Each structure stands twice: as structure tokens, then as C-alpha cells.
């Protein structure tokens, strides 16, 4: 008796419950049809034809990590948070379609192939009185056609790119470092059987080119300036006659077709991060530096030959990059915040406030947080004074920050500054 029982245990249970491996797909498919108001007409179709419609689906979009992307355990777990962030963002990515949100996953795995199925059948099979197709199928095709034409469009596809950018690419840009690793994503949709395509987002990492550049105070390591805010890898900045314009191309001696890569000194990166001292701007500072240098606005040439290039965040000037033009490259030496003494706005501010360079440093007027995280922006007199000196755009950055931080309470500073410069009543 005991031996027989043991034999039955080894063979396993007599009846194994079958689990539908596509159960989740079926639930999502029905949920999508219900949201689009097409579930009732779909369920009236004969089961065999419903199976054909369901089988037209594509594989779910997938997020992959290229071998170049550091694993979660690398560098003491430094890349574990960003890997977790992009995975969660990829699964969360969605677009607004009418009155409901459609996940990017369902858009590509269900909505797009369903539209293709409906378009094909509406164009290849008659739907008139002589049609041999079931009336329920004809009714479904006629209902689904206009609905899917309005959803599975190029506009909605662009919305999926925007969602994936916000949820996946933006965190990668914020985590990228010119003096470390640049993280970026590439989208692809390789064809599969039956014309299916699987949208694939592959994440990569690469180190920017680095070289030692001889300057007047010795040889210094410099990193190529680039941004990972693209879908095609790292975009590197260069100066050409076209990007400089006729005047500066002639002044700097650029020949037609000449390209000089832009490099940045580590010191400039440190100053950029410390002076744009808010994570919402500091994390993207390198991207804005790339944008400012790729199409430079050169304000002036200094007596030593260095150039002041406007540093902008979304077309608002926040300071200047001090650039040394060289024969075979462009070297970014440092970053000057808008209110510092070597800038046009800084010199005007010093005269108006009657402050020395050391006093401006002491009051931390060379840090973005003074204009975005204190009550300086709320003092009408001081705001007008700074605006007259060309610094008013700093306060608009503060207002954008407040839109994302409704609970924020500014640090008191305006009264202290007024007392210091003698404006207090």
C-alpha cells in the first residue's frame, strides 16, 4: 500500500489544471475594446473569427539592456536605481486617448495590429448585400474602422515617443555624465513572422571621447561635449562656419566645410553643477550646455582671445561659457553664472548694488537657488532691480519650479539682502 502511494506521488497529480498562457493578453484585449466601445459588437462575432482577430496581435514592446549598460551590481550598486527607474517608467508609459489612458504596450501590441487587421478586411472583402461574411463581422469592421483610424495614427505614435521620452529617456539624460558614462536609448521595431513587429527599446552606455589639451597652465583632461537626449545615441557638439555665422567664422578663421569638436574641462562641469544648484536644472545642465554650444551665441571676445558664449536653459540666458578657440578644437574652460563679475550683467549689477565680487560670493548671488528657492522673487523692488540689470529671466525659472512644487515654502532672503545693500526702510 505504501509503495503504491509513493509511486503515485512520484508520478505527480493525476489531473493538472490547464492555464491559458494568453490569459493576460485576452483580458487586456477585451479591456481595450471595452474602452473603445467595441466589445459588444466583437463578442457577437463567431468564436472562430474572434480567434483570428485576436491572433493578429503583436508581441509586447520590450525594454532591453545592452551589455554596455552597467549591471545593477556594478560600481557598488550605483546603477541599480536608474535601472529600476527606467523599468518602472517603461511599464508606466501611456498616452491619453479620448477619455481614457492607453498604455504604450497596448498601443503597439493591440491597437496598431487591430487597425491593420480591420483595414485589410474592409478593403479586401465585400461588405454589401452580396457579402458572404457574417453580419456580425461586417458590423464590427464598420464600427471599428473610424475608431481605430482616429487612434492608431502618426499623431498618437508621436505621443508614445513623448511618453517613452518622459518615462525612460529623460531619467537617462539626467543620470548621464560627460566625465563618466552617457546613457541613452535606441528604438527599433524588427519585423517578425506574419508581418508582426516588436517595438524594442535598447538602453546603452558609452564613455565620451577624452583627450589631454595643452593650455597656458599645463595639460588638462577634457571631455567631448554631447547629449544623450536623442533616439540615436550621443549627439556631439561641433563648431562649423554654418553654426558660427559669417562674422565669427571669419574672425576665428574657419575654412569652408571645417569642423572643430567641442571639449569641456572638468572644472567647467563642476562649476556648472554647483552654480545651477537645483536638481531639476543641474541634472540637465550638460544637455543645455550642449545646446548652447552646438549653435553658439557668442557675446564678446575678451582681450586674451577667449569667447563668452551664452549659456541658455530653454532660450533663457543663465550665464556664460568661457571658451578658448584652438586650431583643431574648441575648449570650454569654465562656467560663469549670470551675476558674476566677468559678465556684462554681473558688472551692471555690481554697480547698482555697490557690491564687490567677494560680497556677491558671500551672499551666494552666483547660485540659481537664490532666485528660485528664496523670497527674492516675491520682492517687487528687488525683482525690478535685477530685471533692469538683465537678470529677470532667472525668476521665470523659479516660477516653473513652483508649478512642480506647489507645497514649497521659500527661504527668507530678500530682507537680508535689502539691509546689506541699504535698501531697507
* 3-class SS letters over the chain: CHHHHHHHHHHCCCCCCCCCCCHHHHHHHHHHHHHCCCHHHHHCCCHHHHHHHHHCCCCCCEEEECCCCCCCCHHHHCCHHHHHHHHHHHHHCEEEECCEEEEHHHHHHHHHHHHHHHHHHHHHCCCCCCCCCCHHHHHHHHHHHHHHHHHCCHHHHHHHHHHHHHHHHHHHHHHCCCCCCEEEEEEECCECHHHCECCEEEEEEECCCEEEEEECCEEEEEEECEECCCCECCEECEECHHHHCHHHHHHCCCCCCCCEEEEEEHHHHHHHHHHCCCHHHHCCHHHHHHHHHHCCCEEEECCCCCEEEEEEECCEEEEEEEEEECCCCEEEEEEEECCCCCCHHHHHHHHHHCCCHHHHHHCCCCCCHHHHCEHHHHCHHHHHHHHHCCCCHHHHHHHHHHHHCCCCCCECCHHHHHHHHCCCC
112 and 195 part of one domain: yes
Q: Is residue 3 part of a domain?
A: no
Give the domain extent around 348: 344-421
Q: Is residue 11 part of a domain?
A: no
Q: Is residue 138 part of a domain?
A: yes
What pLDDT does residue 111 have? Answer: 93
75 and 166 part of one domain: yes
Q: Is residue 18 part of a domain?
A: no
Rounded mean pLDDT of 362-387?
Answer: 91
190 and 47 part of one domain: yes
What pLDDT does residue 367 have? Answer: 92
Q: Which residue has better confidence, 8 or 409?
A: 409
- By mean pLDDT, which of 218-222, 293-297, 303-307 is the weakest? 218-222
123 and 265 part of one domain: no
Given 206, 230, 261, the domain boundary residue is: 206
406 and 332 part of one domain: no
pLDDT tier for residue 196 given thresholds of 50, 70 and 90: confident
- By mean pLDDT, which of 241-245, 263-267, 356-360, 406-410 is the weakest? 406-410
Rounded mean pLDDT of 356-369?
Answer: 90
What pLDDT does residue 384 have? Answer: 93
What pLDDT does residue 127 have? Answer: 55
Q: Is residue 6 part of a domain?
A: no
Q: Is residue 187 part of a domain?
A: yes
Whether pLDDT at 425 is above 50: no
pTM of the full predicted structure? 0.87
Whether pLDDT at 262 is above 90: yes
How large is the C-alpha radius of gyration of the chain? 30
217 and 175 part of one domain: no
Q: Is residue 12 part of a domain?
A: no
What pLDDT does residue 9 have? Answer: 54
Q: Which residue has better confidence, 4 or 82?
A: 82
Contacts with 375 (C-beta within 8 Å, 6 or more apart), sequence order:
410, 411, 412, 413, 414
- Structurally, the chain folds into a number of domains equal to 3
190 and 46 part of one domain: yes
Whether pLDDT at 371 is above 80: yes
69 and 164 part of one domain: yes
Rounded mean pLDDT of 141-156?
Answer: 88
Whether pLDDT at 2 is above 80: no
145 and 56 part of one domain: yes
What pLDDT does residue 354 have? Answer: 86
What pLDDT does residue 150 have? Answer: 87
Q: What percent of the chain has pLDDT above 70?
A: 90
Q: Is residue 351 part of a domain?
A: yes
Given 158, 184, 206, the domain boundary residue is: 206
Q: Which residue has better confidence, 108 or 154?
A: 108
273 and 154 part of one domain: no
Given 288, 321, 337, the domain boundary residue is: 337
pLDDT tens-digit map of 40-84: 999 999 999 999 999 999 999 999 999 999 999 988 999 999 999
What pLDDT does residue 398 have? Answer: 67
125 and 267 part of one domain: no
Whether pLDDT at 399 is above 60: no
Indicate the average pLDDT of the chain: 88
93 and 195 part of one domain: yes
Amino acid at each position: 500500500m505504501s509503495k503504491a502511494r509513493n509511486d503515485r506521488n512520484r508520478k505527480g497529480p493525476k489531473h493538472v489544471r490547464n492555464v491559458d498562457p494568453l490569459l493576460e493578453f485576452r483580458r487586456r484585449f477585451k479591456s481595450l475594446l471595452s474602452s473603445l466601445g467595441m466589445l459588444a459588437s466583437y463578442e457577437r462575432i463567431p468564436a472562430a473569427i474572434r480567434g483570428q482577430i485576436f491572433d493578429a496581435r503583436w508581441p509586447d514592446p520590450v525594454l532591453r539592456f545592452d551589455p554596455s549598460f552597467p549591471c545593477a551590481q556594478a560600481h557598488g550598486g550605483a546603477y541599480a536605481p536608474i535601472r529600476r527607474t527606467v523599468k518602472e517608467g517603461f511599464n508606466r508609459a501611456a498616452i491619453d486617448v479620448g477619455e481614457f489612458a492607453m498604455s504604450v504596450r497596448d498601443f503597439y501590441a493591440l491597437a496598431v495590429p487591430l487597425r491593420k487587421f480591420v483595414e485589410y478586411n474592409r478593403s479586401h472583402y465585400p461588405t454589401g448585400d452580396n457579402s458572404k461574411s457574417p453580419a456580425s463581422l461586417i458590423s464590427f469592421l464598420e464600427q471599428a474602422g473610424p475608431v481605430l483610424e482616429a487612434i492608431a495614427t502618426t499623431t498618437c505614435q508621436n505621443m508614445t515617443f513623448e511618453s517613452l521620452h518622459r518615462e525612460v529617456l529623460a531619467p537617462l539624460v539626467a543620470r548621464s555624465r560627460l566625465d563618466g558614462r552617457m546613457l541613452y536609448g535606441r528604438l527599433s521595431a524588427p519585423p517578425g513572422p506574419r508581418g508582426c513587429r516588436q517595438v524594442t527599446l535598447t538602453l546603452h552606455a558609452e564613455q565620451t571621447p577624452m583627450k589631454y589639451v595643452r593650455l597656458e597652465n599645463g595639460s588638462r583632461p577634457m571631455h567631448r561635449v554631447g547629449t544623450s537626449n536623442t533616439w540615436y545615441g550621443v549627439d556631439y557638439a561641433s563648431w562649423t562656419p554654418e553654426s558660427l555665422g559669417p562674422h565669427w567664422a571669419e574672425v576665428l578663421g574657419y575654412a569652408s566645410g571645417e569642423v572643430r569638436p567641442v571639449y569641456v574641462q572638468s572644472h567647467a562641469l563642476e562649476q556648472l553643477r554647483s552654480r545651477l544648484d537645483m536638481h531639476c536644472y543641474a541634472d540637465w545642465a550638460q544637455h543645455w550646455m550642449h545646446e548652447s554650444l552646438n549653435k553658439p551665441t557668442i557675446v564678446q571676445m575678451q582681450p586674451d582671445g577667449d569667447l563668452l558664449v551664452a549659456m541658455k536653459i530653454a532660450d533663457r540666458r543663465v550665464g556664460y561659457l568661457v571658451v578658448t578657440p584652438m586650431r583643431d578644437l574648441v575648449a570650454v574652460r569654465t562656467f560663469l553664472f549670470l551675476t558674476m563679475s566677468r559678465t556684462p550683467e554681473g558688472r551692471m549689477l555690481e554697480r547698482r548694488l555697490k557690491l564687490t565680487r567677494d560680497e556677491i560670493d558671500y551672499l551666494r548671488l552666483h547660485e540659481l537657488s537664490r532666485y528660485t528657492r528664496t523670497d527674492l522673487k516675491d520682492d517687487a523692488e528687488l525683482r525690478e532691480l535685477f530685471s533692469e540689470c538683465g537678470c529677470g529671466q532667472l525668476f521665470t525659472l523659479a516660477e516653473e519650479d513652483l508649478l512642480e512644487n506647489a507645497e514649497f515654502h521659500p527661504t527668507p532672503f530678500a530682507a537680508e539682502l535689502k539691509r546689506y545693500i541699504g535698501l531697507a526702510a
